[in-house]
Amino acid sequence: MLKAWVGGRMEQKIGFIGCGNMGRAILGGLLASQYAQAQDIWVYNRTADSVRAIVDEYGVKAAANAQALAAEVDIVVLGVKPNGMVALLSEIKASLRPETIVVSIAAGVTLDTLQAGLAAQQKVVRVMPNTPSLVNAGMSSVTPNSRVSAEECARIVTLFRSFGRAEVVPEGLIHAVVGVSGSAPAYVFMFIEAMADAAVQAGMPRAQAYQFAAQAVMGAAKMVLETGTHPAELKDMVCSPAGTTIEAVAALEEKGMRAAVIEAIGRCIAKSEAMSRR
Annotated binding site for NADP(+): 17-22
Q: 167 φ, ψ to 5°?
A: -140, 145
> What is the rounded distance in angstroms from the CA atom of residue 147 to the CA atom of residue 112?
13
Query: Could you tell me which residues are annotated as the binding site?
Result: 17-22
Cβ atoms of residues 148 and 126 within 8 Å: no
* Helix (H), strand (E) at residue 43: strand 41-44
104 three-class SS: strand
* Residues in contact with 13: Cβ distance below 8 Å, sequence separation at least 6, in sequence order: 40, 41, 42, 72, 73, 74, 75
Judge whether 169 and 157 are in contact, CB under 8 Å.
Answer: no
Q: Which residues contact 17 (CB under 8 A, 6 or more apart)?
A: 44, 45, 66, 69, 70, 76, 77, 78, 79, 80, 88, 92
